[in-house]
Structure formats: C-alpha cells, structure tokens
Structure 1
Amino acid sequence: MTVWYITDLVGTSVFAISGALSALSKKMYHDLFGLFFIGFVTAVGGGTLRDVIIGAHPIAWIRDPNYLVVILSSVILAVLCRRWWLGALQRPLLVFDTIGVGIYTILGMQKALLFGVNDWASILLGVISALFGGVIRDTLVNDLPLIFSKQLYATPCLVGALLYLLGRALPIDPNVTFIASVALITLFRLVAIRKNWALPQIKQ
C-alpha cells in the first residue's frame, strides 16, 4: 500500500466519523444503517462527484472494498466513543471535518492533475472533493451547509491549493508539498474557527 492510498483511507475515516457524529448530535438516526449512510455520503460524496467529472472509472469505493470497511469501522468507532467526542472534545464535528477537508483538497487535486486537467480546474475539483460530502451531510441532518455560512470554509482550501501548485512548480519533495498544503488548510481553518474570521458580506 502506498502512502497516498493510506492517506486516502485516513481521510475517508475522518469524514465518516464527522458524518456519524453530526447525525448523532442531531439525534436523527438511531440505527447503525442510518449512521453508516450519513458517514458514507460524507466520506465519498465529494470524491465520487470528482471522479464522475473527470471520468475516473471505476470509482474508488466501487473498485476497492477497503473504503466501505473503513467507513463502517469509523462509524462504529464514532458510536462507541460518542459520549467522549460529543462531550469532552471541543467542537468535534468541526475538528474532524477540518482534517478531512485538508486531506481531500490536496488528494482531489492530485487525482485531477493525473487525469490531465489544467491547474485551475484541479483547484476547483480539489475543493469539490473536500466540501461536497459535507454539503450532503449537512443537508441530510437539516443544517445549513458550512460552505454557505459566514465562516471561512472554502477560502483555506483555496489557499492550500495554491500552495500545492506553487510547490509543484518548485524543486521541492512532493511529500513535503503535500504535508505543508494539508497542514496550512487545517491550521488556517482551525484558527479561523477560533478567531471567528469571516469574509466581508455582500450587503443587500
């Protein structure tokens, strides 16, 4: 297994936990199948849309059963640890969501670039990979999707994506570029949450 494959599975797990915790916090889903479904669409929704757009077939979770095993295991872990995560960990949904967003923005860009898309399209596809699953999750649990809130959500993804493109153009180890870009997205988003940063709103 390559480092990128393992990283993809880690991102899948993080998003699945985020989806399950979101459903549990709303007390909308009381059975494992319902929680699995929310975790599933959160984990693979964005990547599936990206793969459909670029024509990457078969889609990863259809070809490789490890993705479904990871999602199910992560949902079970979320259920078993729900009292601690929803009680002791500050803003757990945002923490897990932010880590997943950082990983999938860059992984999504990498895959898009491998399929020959231009640099700017790869940024958009990376953001789709990272955010679309969360949009589905929030819609299903009757929340306003974070991308439509006043919080900085897509902006950290764009900044990290630009750093990744810059790193690709320079003689820098690709692993270093990947880690730095994911870290920038994650830290930028977490600081924005803590400081309540937001872009200026368009006045009506």
Structure 2
Amino acid sequence: MNNHNHFKIYKPYGMLSQFASNSTQQKRKRFLGELGNFPEGTMPIGRLDEKSEGLLLLTTDGKLSDYINSSGIEKEYYALVDGAITQEKIEELQKGVEIGFDGKKYQTKPCKVFKLESEPDFPERSKKIRDARHGPVSWVSLTITEGKFRQVRKMTSAVGFPTLRLVRVRVGNIAINNMKNEEVRPINIPSTL
C-alpha cells in the first residue's frame, strides 16, 4: 500500500495556494513552500485565493485530492461582511443566489448560512481591514458543497454585503481549530471525510 502524507495549514492572507511560480509577475508573491519542507509531490487540495486565509489541506495523494474537490464535501467559511446583515439576506444566501462565473450567470446551490453571535478568534491579519468603527460589520458562517471561483465573496456581494475578510474553517470533518497563522500540522485524512 502506498503511504501518503497529509497536512493541514493555516494559509495566511497574501499567500498563493501553490508551491512556486516561474512567472515574473509573481516573483514578489509568497508561496506555500515557505511554510516548510514538504515531501516531493505534495499538492494543495483545492485553493484559497490570495486574499483568503484559513484551512488548506495538502496531500501527496492525487486521487484523494480529486475526490475531495469533486465529491460535494462541505467547506465552511467565516466571512466578515460590510454592514449589519439581515435574516432576510441570510435566507437569500441559504436558498442560493445568482453570481457571475466564466462570463455566465450561475445559480449557487442551497447552503447553510447563519450569523455568528460573536467575533471568531483568528490570528491577526497582516493587512488591516476596516472594522466596526467605520460602520457596522457582521460575521457569518457559510457552508457550501461546491467551489466556484471566488464563490463566497460573489455570494455575499450578490445580496449587498461585500466580504471584507474570508477564512475557511472546515473541510469535511477537518477543522482549523486554534491554529496559528502559517502553522503546519501533519494529519491523517480519514476516508469518510
């Protein structure tokens, strides 16, 4: 049997979800390879865009990566949105909203959404974000089973509450818990994610 390595990391704001790049436009960017010496063949499972942070899984198992990306496994995000979000807007998000994707309109699938009662305890972000002194903000949890490009940001914007900060907190049964920024932990990924 092939032994594979799996890791969970807290991807910081401003880092790309790749190990390196030959692109001259990206030579000043930060990459996952800075976080440690990973075994050959390690790849991210899915992506978090440069401005998103939180849980990113890494593996040396390509089949596992494909399975997690294509099987509708839940991914939970905490989004800090601009404004005091209403229950009506949360219900719109739950039902699915129309977003733009690849130049076409796309209706997101129904998902789980609720407002967080208190601010989550995340590591301080390297780039400051607007806070409640400049008008109301709300933290919401969104759990989706699809992963279109910038989907959560597009969804909150579609209901009039742009995302100011986005943190992925869970993939399947694997949660970020109290990880620190840029922390790397070896993990076992169960087959029943």
Structure with higher helix content: 1
TM interval, shorter chain, is under 0.3
Q: Report the TM-score when normalising by structure 1.
A: 0.25
The higher relative CO (CA closer than 8 Å, separation ≥ 6) is in: 2
